Structure 1
Amino acid sequence: MIAQVLSLATDVDDIRIAFNESSLTVLKIVIGTILFGIALDTKVSDFTAALRRPWVITIGVLAQFIALPALTFLLTLLLDVRGSVALGMILVACCPPGNVSNVLTHRAGGDVALSVSMTAVSNLLAIFLMPLNMAFWGGLHPTGEKLLEDIDLSAVDMLVEVGLVIGVPFVLGISIARLWPAVAERAHKVVGPVSFLALGVVIVLGVTKNWDLFLDYISIVLLAVFLHDALALALGWCIGRATRLPDRSVKAMTFEVGIRNAGLGLLLVFSYFDGLGGMALVAAWWGIWDIVAGLALAQWWSSRSSEKKAVTA
């Protein structure tokens, strides 16, 4: 059994996950819609609110775009994962948060205003920082570097893709929220849940089409994704505590750093990495496990808050 797993681990860099052009187009629309939904719930005041809390926002940005990719890089070396798995972990770490982080922050009794502000700022910065981060850390990786050379990844091309997928829906959504706030509020309640449901359907269909490969290779990424997700959540919590943020802000920081838009990562895997096996498996499984772990943590925090209120009463 061990020999079989080792054999599979050796081959994971060579497999490609099937994803046809029409499915890729649907995925782009779904990711764009998710970002559009985030923007509908984003107001210009969220950015001005961020300016009033520059220190906290700066901490969050540094944690997301510098500390998390750097620690992820070290984790890939520690686990000695294959090149494609390492690149998948680095790609996910470079992704911005989605508005799932806002929902989880609310569920946990955290600072939702801070969460929304950080999500808005992070998604805007991700247009430029995500491609640069991926090219930098992926190029440094001893086994991932060779794969990047074979793929001939262009940071500029990825910048354009991320700009279209994030930037255009984001600007459109914020404009609607600014001009027609009542319409944006009603639309957000529909667009957000429907787009995430659509993403789940796309992932499930993709897994179904590649079921045999999924069963053969998923064991390779289970531990890596579990540890990586725990690292991301712990990083957010530790930074919040180390900088002496209030409890509600610590919860927001935990989810803003720990929750990644793995759907965007999955789109880039199929757009620029030809469905590279380890990358696709990491992004797909992260998208599932990240929500499960986040919900569990949010529920635990919510339960603790309820118990404290009961004791106080």
Structure 2
Amino acid sequence: MAPLLLPVSLRPLPSARSVSRPVPRPCLPLLFTKRRRLPSALRRVQCLAEPAPPPAPRWHAALATAAGLYPAYVTAGASVAVARPEAFRWFVDMAPGSYTATLGFIMLAMGLTLNLRDFAALLRDRPLSILFGCAAQYTVMPVFGAIISRALGLPPSLSAGLILLGCCPGGTASNVVTLVAKGDVPLSIVMTVCSTLAAVFLTPLLTKVLAGAYIPVDAVKLSLSTLQVVVAPILLGSSIQTAFPSIVQFVTPFAPLMAVLASSLLACSVFSENFVRLSSTIADASSVNGNFFSGDIGVVMLSVSLLHFAGFFVGYTAAAISGLKEKQRRAISIEVGMQNSSLGVVLAAAHFSSPLVSLPPALSAVIMNIMGSTLGLVWQYITPSDLENETTGMHNA
């Protein structure tokens, strides 16, 4: 009897030495993918031809997490400045050189993460974003400074200080917060430069119109300071990135944390420098008006907080209504909401007889950084929608 043959096809077992692996098919032409949608199985095969980027080391994530603790650094530093102002005396005694060097270091760290082509593309493709941000800077903050001071019934000196704060340009701390918030950093830096140069004309004009006091600004000194503190370090950092790419690739993960720590030191030092002088001023005012410290100081803190909140909120809302992308919205919101409070303190001390005019800008050095860095920390964990669309498009292509 013949044996029963079953229709089973036997396959040879793969040897241990040679295991056949499927060779990924080459990516299909882009024209073909646009004519009709590919099946999901074919898209998966197509993606095999594109090697995934290697995962970032864990210490990169640790550095990013440490940079996101900006609000904690500023809060802790402000607490130390109140309890022991002499803790920052070593840094304050070297001012203004220490302040200038720290600002330059911050912008150098920012420049290492950027390319000059980013700025060229920004000036070429999005000039309206720059104009919009600068216009919002010199309309939202000065107007709300006047509205809030009148709504809360601030005394003339404190009202002038709040309006002067609102008329100041954007500060370099906004660039650091924009980096943490995953915003458009080149846009933030260009807005800082433009608003600072425009402050030569707009800060005196707006202060005169809204506060009734003319505040002269040294145009040459402010322009040179902007070039020295902002423009030159950015160009230097970008040049180092081009000349030494391997070194910059290793240093870049540390740049946000270094910028955050330097910005925290600068903000707390400015606050501590003015805290002792303002404490004596507040004590003198309290001897005349006994409820000054418990009443007026709280109102000043509230007014400064409302001013910066209005800048963040209105800046973002206006950018969204204008159709700008999420990264630009974040940059404009932070740039409008964060002022150059150090400039406000200097102008108030130089051109007003009452020391109370310096109180809103001095308090802003801490309040603004805490509010802005907290907002940046929240946005750090929310991927901008335009980046999500780009990533989704790459996967669906």
Identify whether the pair has TM-score above 0.5, normalized to the shorter chain: yes
Q: Tell me the SS of whatever aligns to 1:96.
A: coil
Tell me which residue corresponds to 1:273. Answer: 351
Give the alignment partner of residue 200 of structure 2, picking from 118, 122, 131: 131
Give the alignment partner of residue 335 of structure 2, picking from 256, 276, 298: 256
Letter in 2 for 1:137: L
TM, length-normalised to structure 2:
0.58
Letter in 2 for 1:50: L
Letter in 2 for 1:234: F
Larger proportion of helix: 1
**1:169 and 2:232 correspond:** no
Supply the distance in 1 between the matched residues of 2:374 and 2:92 (Cα, whole angstroms): 31
Contact 1:46 1:117 in 2 (8 A): yes
Supply the distance in 2 between the matched residues of 1:164 and 1:25 (Cα, whole angstroms): 23
Query: After the TM superposition, which of the residue ranges 82-91 and 23-32 deviates more from structure 2?
Result: 23-32
Query: After the TM superposition, which of the residue ranges 39-48 and 188-197 deviates more from structure 2?
Result: 188-197
- Cα 1:205–1:38 change in 2 (3 A) is closer
Q: Tell me the SS of whatever aligns to 1:245.
A: coil
Give the alignment partner of residue 29 of structure 1, picking from 97, 101, 121: 97
Supply the distance in 2 between the matched residues of 1:25 and 1:44 (Cα, whole angstroms): 36
Per the TM alignment, residue 232 of structure 1 is displaced from its structure 2 partner at its CA by: 0.8
Tell me which residue corresponds to 2:178. Answer: 105
Per the TM alignment, residue 239 of structure 1 is displaced from its structure 2 partner at its CA by: 1.0
Tell me which residue corresponds to 2:370. Answer: 292
- Cα 1:30–1:74 change in 2 (3 A) is farther
Supply the distance in 2 between the matched residues of 1:283 and 1:128 (Cα, whole angstroms): 20
Letter in 1 for 2:216: S
Correspondence list, 1:26-175, <5 A: 26-40=94-108, 41-42=110-111, 43-51=115-123, 52-108=125-181, 110-111=182-183, 114=184, 116-141=185-210, 144-145=211-212, 148=213, 153-155=215-217, 157=218, 159-175=219-235
Supply the distance in 2 between the matched residues of 1:68 and 1:135 (Cα, whole angstroms): 14
- Cα 1:203–1:61 change in 2 (3 A) is same
Contact 2:304 2:363 in 1 (8 A): yes
Per the TM alignment, residue 123 of structure 1 is displaced from its structure 2 partner at its CA by: 2.7
Supply the distance in 1 between the matched residues of 2:107 and 2:373 (Cα, whole angstroms): 23
Supply the distance in 1 between the matched residues of 2:297 and 2:195 (Cα, whole angstroms): 28
Give the alignment partner of residue 180 of structure 1, picking from 240, 253, 264: 240
Contact 1:68 1:235 in 2 (8 A): no
Supply the distance in 1 between the matched residues of 2:356 and 2:221 (Cα, whole angstroms): 21
Per the TM alignment, residue 228 of structure 1 is displaced from its structure 2 partner at its CA by: 0.7
Supply the distance in 1 between the matched residues of 2:168 and 2:348 (Cα, whole angstroms): 12
**1:236 and 2:292 correspond:** no
Tell me which residue corresponds to 1:9. Answer: none
- Cα 1:238–1:278 change in 2 (3 A) is farther
Letter in 2 for 1:227: L
Q: Which runs of 5+ in 1 are unaligned?
A: 1-21
- Cα 1:164–1:267 change in 2 (3 A) is farther
Per the TM alignment, residue 175 of structure 1 is displaced from its structure 2 partner at its CA by: 4.0
Letter in 2 for 1:128: L
- Cα 1:97–1:87 change in 2 (3 A) is same
Per the TM alignment, residue 223 of structure 1 is displaced from its structure 2 partner at its CA by: 1.9
Supply the distance in 1 between the matched residues of 2:266 and 2:373 (Cα, whole angstroms): 19
Give the alignment partner of residue 207 of structure 1, picking from 275, 289, 294: 275
- Cα 1:289–1:205 change in 2 (3 A) is same
Per the TM alignment, residue 177 of structure 1 is displaced from its structure 2 partner at its CA by: 2.3
Contact 2:133 2:336 in 1 (8 A): yes
Per the TM alignment, residue 58 of structure 1 is displaced from its structure 2 partner at its CA by: 2.0
Letter in 2 for 1:96: P
Supply the distance in 1 between the matched residues of 2:189 and 2:376 (Cα, whole angstroms): 21
Per the TM alignment, residue 286 of structure 1 is displaced from its structure 2 partner at its CA by: 1.0
* Length, aligned pairs only: 273
Per the TM alignment, residue 209 of structure 1 is displaced from its structure 2 partner at its CA by: 4.7
Contact 2:342 2:361 in 1 (8 A): yes
Q: What is the CA deviation profile of residues 86-126 of structure 1, one whole-angstrom value per residue up to 9, with x for unaligned ones?
A: 33223322333334334433444x33xx2x22232223223
The structure whose Rg is larger is 2
Supply the distance in 1 between the matched residues of 2:216 and 2:133 (Cα, whole angstroms): 27
Per the TM alignment, residue 261 of structure 1 is displaced from its structure 2 partner at its CA by: 2.4
TM, length-normalised to structure 1:
0.72
